Structure 1
């Protein structure tokens, strides 16, 4: 363990010394992808419960890893991440099993989220250097234990300026990719000015390291129409110019454009325009009640586009 920490420390030092020399490069071409958040609500959902179409790239996103103490009254830990997803039903052995059964499956973890034990999961680093060092160590450890392929950034509360957020997350993503800890990266913003300002700062400086934008279109007002949805999509295309923006809905009926009111029609329009890069759903835990009906429909639509 001490040797592992020593190696991580050397790699962190190398990252911090070279980070200023990062040059913008285009992310590798990504196939059409279906992504699903899983494990946040403790409803005993497993990977094998979710239908998987072999003709799409399928990403599970474990929800969440959070740099908070794992107590009744959680507090920030400056980048020392702990697992908060359902560790009884979503284990390393479960990941190995689903990957062996489905060669198109990748598994990642999402960082942050909305709340932990009823308290906001706030991004609150002590300093850029210390947060990055701690995050690299703790996330690398989790990624190796669970054999993860991806990392998703889903912070929704901030006690830091946008530039500091951008530096912390950007340096973390750079290290994880540069050292082959993970293969895919994504961010999960939504249309709130206090949230967007942080993610846009990250995108402007480190967008070349981000493969997908899991934009939370379900955070728009409930009852969104197809024309409104398409306009929202165009707005975010302008915000994250050049990024692969994934469309989304929630199976908890939270808001946005629902499948019952034209989500798939909107997807068909985007596909005809060459703008449909993928779909993600929040979340598998909520989808159990409908036997994953919309997961099947989403993947069938994406498979027909390949």
Structure 2
């Protein structure tokens, strides 16, 4: 402000008058049926008269008022309006990815692509069309990750009418009527009666007491007052405080209704592997347990057993439909659904891990196929159950570790487990050592160790606890199968606790076999976990 003049003073006065006229304004967050992240992205074009750079803006809602926004001058000079809009969209996509990670930490999961609305048809077309035209060859490569997010269905760019583009309020001045229209749609409201403690309703007002211009460039047009949202610094601070309070309330309510129990007791139940027409609703589920149904199996092969380079398909029982999974999760909020990758065989064909010719292509194919499967079957995670390996294996840990990391980073899954047994220890230890931070549980197949007595079971558990994290290692049982059988398994669980191991979960294989004994082991395992006094 080395050469300020009367026009600048007039602009400052208008800002102060606007603040005074909107002291009662707040953001109003209301209860919504579902919280869906929705974004708006926009820009002006060459709005800065000093360097001809454009201004990017974005804002996000969760079904109610906006809670996140930005308005910032772009770092590049846009030669086309489409480029200015495309740069704004790129900034919005970056922010959306970060917001989805925060939502996941708050137990708010959104599987469908995040919609971002843009009122420039050219920018939308550029994002959806992989062809590079001559007019966009000057776009920096870094902006084209928007296309990648569109292709993997992480984001969905949607064209909207300019009159419905809320983000315009962050990038350009408006007439009073236009400004008020967008402000109301953003959720900015005024408390009409502060003294009435019983009146908790906020009513949106039609206009501030004294409208004025915040942008000095618009000051000369005094006969047509305009308003900018940037004027009210106090209002912005109020929005920030309300945002944190809103998210805190949301996180508390989500945790209360989520499938994550306070004491962390979990059940892992493989289901659908043998072709028996088992049903999810037949399996008893206790409220105090986080119950993981593991649909078995998703296989990287066609029906003849020929590998498909990472393109997984479901091969579990026909009774385990997407509708059944959705109904089970609706009736039991503590239920999660996973799918187990590979297994032992597909019909008579023994399945083996193979080294892909192109590991990146395998990871990309696996991510795409499993993302589609997760959306279709309402899956929360994956289990890794490759049980046969070539003599010289160098790709398993990298491919699977990167796949899990990508699925979690993109909020496709929230749970990842591995299922080694005594002949596959080496590749799974390599996987766990390099990617243990994204692996939640180890469903080690203790029944393959051929231990039949409680003391022997505890010794086997000690060995595997030394190879994997003991807090993530779950004791396991095979119904009518190998290893320890009957109530001796529960004696082993008690002995584990006596030896200082916290039994916070149990893995059972499988519900297919348990249907013949009225799910005795599922009932008793959950009863043991709920009554256990030892926890990690």
Is the shorter-chain TM-score for this pair beyond 0.5, marking a shared fold?
yes
Q: Provide the residue aligned with 2:426 in structure 1.
A: 197
The partner residue of 1:228 within 442, 456, 465 is 456
TM-score, normalised via structure 1 length = 0.86
The partner residue of 1:95 within 315, 322, 325 is 325
- Cα distance in 2 for residues equivalent to 1:209 and 1:138: 20
- Unaligned 5+ residue runs, structure 2? 1-126, 131-146, 154-261
Select between 263-272 and 150-159 the one with higher mean Cα deviation.
263-272
Deviation at 1:277, TM superposition (A): 2.5
- Cα distance in 2 for residues equivalent to 1:30 and 1:136: 32
TM-score, normalised via structure 2 length = 0.50
Q: Kindly indicate whether structure 1 or structure 2 has the higher relative contact order, using CA contacts under 8 Å at least 6 residues apart.
A: 1
Deviation at 1:243, TM superposition (A): 4.8
- Cα distance in 2 for residues equivalent to 1:130 and 1:114: 24
Q: Provide the residue aligned with 2:268 in structure 1.
A: 35
Select between 74-83 and 269-278 the one with higher mean Cα deviation.
269-278
1:66 aligns with 2:299: yes
CA shift digits 1:98-157 (9 cap, x unpaired): 111111111110001000011112111233112101101101110011111111000001
Q: Provide the residue aligned with 2:137 in structure 1.
A: none
- Cα distance in 1 for residues equivalent to 2:294 and 2:455: 29
Q: Provide the residue aligned with 1:207 in structure 2.
A: 436
1:112 aligns with 2:339: no
Q: Provide the residue aligned with 2:279 in structure 1.
A: 46
- Cα distance in 1 for residues equivalent to 2:374 and 2:516: 30
Task: Spell out the pairing of 1:246-265 with structure 2 (5 A cutoff).
Answer: 246-253=474-481, 255-260=482-487, 262-265=488-491
Larger radius of gyration: 2
Task: Spell out the pairing of 1:294-305 with structure 2 (5 A cutoff).
Answer: 294-305=521-532
1:11–1:32 Cα change, 3 Å: same
The partner residue of 1:278 within 495, 505, 521 is 505
Deviation at 1:8, TM superposition (A): 5.7
The partner residue of 2:379 within 148, 152, 158 is 148
The partner residue of 1:266 within 492, 496, 501 is 492
- SS of match in other structure, 2:420: coil
| 8 A Cα contact 2:265 2:288, kept in partner | no
Deviation at 1:11, TM superposition (A): 6.0
- Unaligned 5+ residue runs, structure 1? 13-28
| 8 A Cα contact 1:63 1:84, kept in partner | yes
How many residues in Structure 1 have an aligned counterpart in Structure 2?
Answer: 281
1:9–1:190 Cα change, 3 Å: farther
| 8 A Cα contact 1:8 1:137, kept in partner | no
- Cα distance in 2 for residues equivalent to 1:234 and 1:274: 9
Select between 293-302 and 235-244 the one with higher mean Cα deviation.
235-244
- SS of match in other structure, 2:395: helix
Deviation at 1:213, TM superposition (A): 0.1
| 8 A Cα contact 2:351 2:388, kept in partner | yes
- SS of match in other structure, 2:277: coil
- Cα distance in 2 for residues equivalent to 1:120 and 1:33: 31
Q: Provide the residue aligned with 1:85 in structure 2.
A: 316
- Cα distance in 2 for residues equivalent to 1:161 and 1:127: 17
| 8 A Cα contact 1:184 1:211, kept in partner | yes
